[in-house]
């Protein structure tokens, strides 16, 4: 085995190891974000979940067959926390469509 072959094998192994480490970090970030959300700290949870989404997005771009489902799952977790937090718009914050009088009709009244 030549030195060039050994270096090539080592680089591929190193790349695969880094990919696995990033996937593990993303999983830990999702777990941390979920914990923060459950403890009533949605803003802190969103920071962790956005980081996990960024990692999964990068991994899915490189290897969609392996990581696209992970990206879908982390986006779902992020969306769930956003909906439960004040970050997501409420139905009454968005006008539905203008009425004939030119004023906006609201979807529903705020609680």
Express the helix, strand and coil content of the chain in percent, nearest 5 each: 75, 5, 20
* CATH code: domain of residue 76: 1.20.58
Confirm whether 81 is domain-assigned: yes
Phi, psi of 99 (to 5 degrees): -85, 175
Confirm whether 87 is domain-assigned: yes
Confirm whether 111 is domain-assigned: no
pTM: 0.66
Higher pLDDT, 59 or 99: 59
Per-residue model confidence as pLDDT tens digits over 67-103 = 999 999 999 999 999 888 865 555 555 555 554 555 4
Domain count for the chain, please give it: 1
What is the span of the domain harbouring residue 47? Answer: 3-106
Per-residue model confidence as pLDDT tens digits over 1-30 = 565 676 566 667 666 778 888 888 888 999
């Amino acid at each position: 085995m030549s030195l060039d072959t050994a270096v090539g094998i080592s680089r591929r192994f190193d790349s695969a190891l880094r990919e696995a480490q990033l996937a593990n970090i993303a999983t830990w970030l999702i777990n941390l974000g979920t914990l923060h959300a459950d403890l009533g700290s949605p803003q802190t949870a969103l920071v962790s979940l956005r980081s996990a989404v960024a990692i999964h997005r990068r991994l899915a771009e490189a290897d969609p067959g392996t990581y696209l489902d992970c990206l879908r799952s982390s986006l779902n977790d992020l969306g769930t926390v956003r909906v439960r937090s004040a970050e997501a718009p409420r139905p009454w914050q968005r006008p539905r469509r203008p009425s004939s009088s030119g004023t906006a009709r609201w979807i529903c009244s705020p609680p």
